[in-house]
Amino acid sequence: MTRRFEYNLDLNGTILPPPELPASLGVVVRHPSTADIEHLSILMLDAYRGTVDYDGETIEEARTEVQSYFQALNHVGRGIWLTCSSVAKPGSPTAGESSTVLCGACLVGYWPEREAPLISYAMTVAGWKGRGLAGMLLRRSLRRLKEQGYPKVYAVITQGNIPSESLFSRAGFERVNP
């Protein structure tokens, strides 16, 4: 059985650095929509393949997972969570989007048991890992949640997912359960 750990971040006690988007990164960032389901599914499958979170899922299973994310938002106020979420596409802000393929995403949802926001997914396609994209997208989400007045945000990370543990630890998250 895969073990997962709960992490949280006290947004009131955290000074968040600006979610800077260096032009050299070459991405356009915007809020996600249901029109992104297929591209988010492809992103999810690529981002998780070869990690501890990959259990041989298919594109159909990834699509179902992404559709479930959007369906869950219908029950808790879709607008706020999507405005706190971001997707990134290769391209230039001045030249417009050059691709329909997503290279990263940070999707915020709601955790009813905690009555608080949850970073549902922080994903980067394999070819974009190590460039700081996930950190920038996460900082954008955290800043937006703080601006909306949320005092705390949560994440759940699979044991052994060192890149995610590092990403969230750098952002100030602390593991709740031992």
- Say what the pLDDT of residue 50 is: 87
Please, are residues 155 and 110 in contact by the beta-carbon 8 Å criterion?
no
pLDDT tens per residue across span 9-42: 999 977 777 766 666 778 899 999 999 999 999 9
What type of residue is 41? S
Q: Is the pLDDT of residue 98 over 90?
A: no
Domains: count for the chain: 1
Entry pTM: 0.90
CATH code of 62's domain? 3.40.630.30
Residue 105 sits in which domain range?
A: 4-175
Q: Which helix (H) or strand (E) holds 112?
A: none
pLDDT tens per residue across span 106-132: 999 999 899 999 999 999 999 999 989
Q: Is the pLDDT of residue 97 over 50?
A: no
* Other beta carbons within 10 Å of 75: 9
Q: To the nearest whole number, what is the mean pLDDT of the chain? A: 88
Q: Which helix (H) or strand (E) holds 172?
A: none
Q: How far apart are CA 130 and CA 122, in angstroms?
A: 13
Tell me, letter by letter, the H, E, C secondary structure of 43-101: HHHHHHCCCCCCCCCCHHHHHHHHHHHHHHHCCCCHHHHHHCCEEEEEEECCCEECCCC
